[in-house]
Amino acid sequence: MTSGRTAPWHQPNWDARAAGNFIFGGAGTGLIVFAALAHAFGAAYRLPAVIGFALVAAGLACVWAEIGRPLRAFNVYLHPQTSWMTREAMVAPFLFASGAAAIWTGSEALVWAAAALALVYLTCQAQMIRASKGIPAWRHRLIVPLVMLTGLTEGGSVAVLVAAATRDYAWLTWLEALLLALVIARGFAWYAYRSGLQREGAPVKALAALARIEVPFVILGNWGPVVLLFVALAETSGATAFWLGVVSAATGLVAGWLFKFTLITRAAYNQGFALPRLAVRGAGTPGPATKPGWH
C-alpha cells in the first residue's frame, strides 16, 4: 500500500466522553422511569429521582466536554427536523423541569410526565446511535431496542441498589421482578442484534470487539443476574434474597456500562472503502468486487 486506509478503521471522533453520555444518560433515564414505577407501589421518589437526574446531567456534561466548540453549545438546538442530537437536547430541559417540579411538589402527574420524558430522552439516544450511518455496528436497526433495554436495565439496577441502601424493602420484590424481565429481554435483544449484524455484514474487527464482551457482558453480566434474581425471588430468607438482589443489580449495571463503552469506543469501526468492480486496465478485463475488512 502506498497510501490511504481501505479496510474499516475505528472512528476517532467519539471517545469515552461520548460513551459517558450514553452510559449515564441511559442509567439516569432508566432510573427516573423506575422511580415513577416504584412510587406507584408506595416507595419514596425523591432519592432515586435525584440520582437519576444527576446521572443524566453527568451524561450531558460528558457531551459538553467532548464537543470542539463548547461555547457554541446552544447551536445544538437548531435542527430538530432531522437531528436526534437536537431532539435529545430539546427534551433535556423539559425532563429536568418536570423532574424538579415532581420532586418539589410530589405531584403524581409530574412524576409520570418526568418518566415519559425520560423514555423519550432514552429513545433519542438510541436513535442517535442508529442514525450514524458511517458505523455499521451502530446503524443496525436492532441497536435501538438493545440500547433502550440496556438503559432501562441499568435504571432498574440502580433502583434496586438505592432501595437496598435505604432499606426501602416494601417494593424490592416488585423491583427485582421487573428487573428480571428486563435483563432477560436485554439478553434476547443482544442475540438478535449480534446475529443480525453477522447476517447482514459488518467489519470483522467490529464483530471481534463485540465477541470479546460475550463472557463479561452476556454470560456473567446478563445471564448471571437472571439466575441470581430467580433465586432471590424464590428465596424465602430475607437476607439471602436481599444480597442476591444487590449482587445481580450491581453486575447487571456494570455489564450494561461495559456494553455501551465497547459499542462506542471499541466496536465503532467505520464503513471503509469498497469497489463493486475493479476497472479495466489497458486491454484487460474488469475484475471482481473488493470490500476489504468485512465479514
Please state, in angstroms and rounded to a whole number, the distance separating the CA atoms of residues 36 and 239.
26
- Compute CA distances 226 → 52, 176, 221, 245, whole Å: 23, 10, 9, 10
Give the Cα-Cα-Cα angle 293, 212, 292 (nearest 5 degrees): 0
| Nearer of residues 42 and 276 to another protein, judged by Cβ | 276
Please state, in angstroms and rounded to a whole number, the distance separating the CA atoms of residues 231 and 175.
14
Residue 275 in the binding site for another protein (CB under 8 A): yes
Residue 13 in the binding site for another protein (CB under 8 A): yes
Residue 93 in the binding site for another protein (CB under 8 A): no
**256 and 276 in contact (C-beta within 8 Å)?**
no
**227 and 187 in contact (C-beta within 8 Å)?**
no
Residue 287 in the binding site for another protein (CB under 8 A): yes
Q: Which amino acid is at 6?
A: T
DSSP letter string over 155-204? HHHHHHHHHHHTT-GGGHHHHHHHHHHHHHHHHHHHHHHHHHHHHH--BH
In the region spanning residues 245 to 274, those forming contacts with another protein, defined by CB under 8 A, are 268, 270-274
Among 40, 67, 100, 233, binds another protein (CB under 8 A): 67
At its nearest, how many Å lie between another protein and the CB of residue 162?
32
| Nearer of residues 4 and 42 to another protein, judged by Cβ | 4
**210 and 245 in contact (C-beta within 8 Å)?**
no
| Nearer of residues 66 and 235 to another protein, judged by Cβ | 66
* Number of chain positions touching another protein (CB under 8 A): 54
- Burial category of 42 from C-beta neighbours within 10 Å (exposed 0-12, middle 13-18, buried 19 and up): exposed
Which of the ranges 100-108, 124-132, 144-152, 177-185 carries the binding residues for another protein, by CB under 8 A?
Answer: 124-132
**23 and 2 in contact (C-beta within 8 Å)?**
no
Please state, in angstroms and rounded to a whole number, the distance separating the CA atoms of residues 124 and 280.
46
Residue 283 in the binding site for another protein (CB under 8 A): no
| Nearer of residues 220 and 291 to another protein, judged by Cβ | 291
Among 22, 53, 84, 242, binds another protein (CB under 8 A): 84
Helix (H, G, I), strand (E, B) or coil at 254: helix
- Burial category of 203 from C-beta neighbours within 10 Å (exposed 0-12, middle 13-18, buried 19 and up): buried
| Nearer of residues 251 and 270 to another protein, judged by Cβ | 270
| Nearer of residues 187 and 293 to another protein, judged by Cβ | 293
Which of the ranges 100-108, 134-142, 204-212, 241-249 carries the binding residues for another protein, by CB under 8 A?
Answer: 134-142
Question: Per the structure block, which three cell numbers stand in for 169?
Answer: 424493602
Residue 278 in the binding site for another protein (CB under 8 A): yes
Residue 19 in the binding site for another protein (CB under 8 A): no
| Nearer of residues 46 and 141 to another protein, judged by Cβ | 141
Among 36, 46, 83, 182, binds another protein (CB under 8 A): 83
Among 32, 35, 51, 86, binds another protein (CB under 8 A): 86
Binding site for another protein (CB under 8 A): 1-6, 11, 13-14, 18, 63, 66-70, 72-73, 75-79, 82-86, 89, 128, 131-135, 138, 268, 270-281, 286-288, 290, 292
